Structures are given as C-alpha cells and as structure tokens.
Amino acid sequence: MVQILFNFITLFTLTLIFGHGNTVTHQDVCGELIHVDEAVVIDGPFHENCMMQFETQEDRILAFSVVDGNIIETRELFTIHDGISTESPILLAGNQKILEYSRKDLPATFYSTQSAAIVRFIKTPSAKMSLKIQKAVSCSLNVGPESQCGRVVDEISCYCANFNNKNHPDQTMFCIDNKMTLVSFENRTEEEFVQKTWSTQIPYWTSLTDTRRDGTWVWEGTMTILNPGDYTHWFPGRPSLANDNEEDCMLYGGNTFFGYWSDVNCITTLANAICEAHP
Ligand SMILES: *[C@@H]1O[C@H](CO)[C@@H](O)[C@H](O)[C@H]1NC(C)=O
C-alpha cells in the first residue's frame, strides 16, 4: 500500500514537472518563422545577428520570457520588436503595461501588442540560455470604471473583477462585451489565486449554472459539465437538491458563504463578478 502510494506521488510529481505537454522545443532557428501554437522554447544556439520571427493566432499576443532566468537581465543580448514590419518598435520594459493586481511572483515577461514579433540578437550570449514564447491574451488595466484586471493566475491569462452589482445574465454579458467569460474554477489553485486577489468579503458570480437543466451544473465559460470527481467547493448543504428549484447560478463570497460556493437565484440576486480570458 505504502509502495503504491509512493509510486502515485512520484508519478504526480513528474506530471507536475513535465506536464506542459504542448511546449515545442526548437534549436538552430536563426532566420526562421516560428508558429506559436501554445508555447515554444528556443534552446539556441544564438549568435549576433540571429533573427527569428514569431507569430500566433491573430487575436492573441506573444509573451516572451527566459527559462530559468529573468528576461530583463538578458535584454542587452537581444531586442524584441512588436510586429514584423521594418518599423516595428522595440518592446521596452518601461512601455509594458503595469497590471497592479497581477501575481508578483510570475516570471518576468514581455508582451507584444499584436500576434507577431521579431527577436533580434545583438550579442552572442556567453552562457546557455533558452527563450520561452507563449500564446497569451492581452489584459487591460481595467474593463470599466469599477473594475480591476490582472494576470492573477498565470502570465498568459487575464482576470478582471467587476464591482458593479448586477444579476447573473447581466454579468455574463458584461464579460462577453469585454471578450471574456464569467470565471470557471478548474481547480483549487486557480480559485485560491482569484480569492486572494479580490477577497471573499463580497459575493461574486461565476459561470457555473444549472439553468438549462436542473441538477446538471455547467461551467458556461468553458462549456464544461461538472462531473462527479471534478473540483467543487460547495457550502455545506449546497447545491439545493429540490427539483425545479429557483437557485440556478453559483456565487461565492459574502458573510453567509465566505469562500464557498452557493446556488442562488440568477435574476433576483445582484453580485459582483469575476471575468476571465484564456489563450
Ligand atoms: C489549474 O487551473 C489553471 C487555470 O485554468 C491551470 O492553468 C492550471 O494548469 C491548473 N492546475 C492544475 C494543477 O491542474
């Protein structure tokens, strides 16, 4: 039994370390155009005048970081140009958006403002280095007068809190109007980052509802059915089990439910909201 448990823990740890299955590693790519599907790691070797073009999905942006290092400290080695025209400006640390609500411990990252960029080496690096380029969503400073946005979970997604009290359909539309969706908590980690950033003192709508069919809870943001075994964080006694009940939308927070989830009336309940956008 202990052995089985040990194997399980080892497997789990390995999955955490090597679990980013969609990262493609490239070498010897000077002069090439590289498509970034999700994430790409460029292992070098880099040399003076090495130039690479990157492009991703048209409505997404590129996030540049250095594996095992800080991209800001390596910036005398290369420049990143925002776009692939000859006039594309160089991305500078000072011109990058400062998102106050972002996690402070995320890897230092440079963001393009469009879906293509050029990296141009000025010097040959003296030590081995790897560049990481990821597809990301752009993140506004806010999405309205009473909102706050940030890279709250990771460096490629964006989350915004809306402090206007509205019912569930109106908050759903608020997120959609800003090219986002109401938040869907995939796991405890994601929920904890969001709750740490904006607290649980006031209630926030999420995308979880059983409006379409009582008893079948769907994260409408990701169109995923909540199956047995999936992550949940219901308040004791929730969701309400009565058939055809009127409590069809999930919110968390406030003095009754704290960080836990509760099902409440979608139309008559007014609450704040968390919107999210993933690449
Ligand atoms: C938790 O959810 C976040 C956000 O969707 C995701 O990026 C992360 O990989 C998930 N973590 C685990 C351990 O599944």
- Alpha carbon nearest to ligand 1 atom 12, residue: 187
- State percent of the chain over pLDDT 70: 92
111 in helix, strand or coil?
Answer: strand
- For residue 209, give the nearest of 258, 270, 263, 276 by alpha carbon: 263
- 94 and 193 assigned to the same domain: no
Segment 243-272 mean pLDDT: 94
Same domain for 80 and 112, yes or no, is: yes
Q: CB within 8 A of 72, min separation 6: which ones? A: 93, 108
The pair of structure tokens assigned to 27 is 């070498």
Structure tokens given for 264: 């409440």
Between 86 and 80, where is the model more confident? 80
Q: Are 204 and 272 spatial neighbours (Cβ–Cβ below 8 Å)? A: yes
Report how far ligand 1's centroid is from the alpha carbon of 190 (Å). 6
Burial of 8 (0-12, 13-18, 19+ CB in 10 A): exposed
Q: Which run of H or of E encompasses 210?
A: none
Provide the domain count of the chain.
2
Mean pLDDT of the 195-223 span: 97
Cis peptide before 239 (omega within 30 of 0): yes
Of 106, 136, 166, the last residue of a domain is: 136
Residue nearest to atom 4 of ligand 1 (CA): 190
* Mean of pLDDT values over 71-78: 92
Domain match, 73 and 179 both: no
Give the predicted TM-score (pTM) of the model.
Answer: 0.89
97 is a domain residue: yes
Provide the 8-state DSSP code for 43: -
SS3 196: helix
Would the pLDDT of 6 be above 70? no
Q: Is residue 1 situated within a structural domain?
A: no
Asked whether residue 254 falls in the same domain as residue 171, the answer is yes
| Probe residue for ligand 1, chosen from 18, 186, 207 as the CB with the greatest number of ligand atoms within 8 Å | 186
Residue 93 scores a pLDDT above 70? yes
Question: b/e per residue, 186-221, with b = 16+ CB within 10 A?
Answer: eeeebbebbbebbebeebbbbbbbbeeebeebbbbb
Same domain, yes or no, for 114 and 234?
no
The residue to mutate among 22, 38, 187, 188, having the most atoms of ligand 1 within 8 angstroms of its beta carbon, is: 187
- pLDDT band for position 21 (cuts 50, 70, 90): low
Q: Which atom of ligand 1 is nearest to the CA of 186?
A: 2
pLDDT tens digits, 196-209: 999 999 999 999 99
- Percentage of the chain surpassing pLDDT 90? 84
Burial of 167 (0-12, 13-18, 19+ CB in 10 A): middle
User: Could you give phi then psi for residue 79, rounded to 5 degrees?
Assistant: -115, 150
Strand 61-66: give its sheet, edge to edge. 23-26, 39-42, 131-136, 61-66, 110-111
CA-to-CA dists, residue 136 to 99, 141, 263, angstroms:
15, 16, 32
Task: Clarify whether residues 175 and 130 are in a common domain.
Answer: no
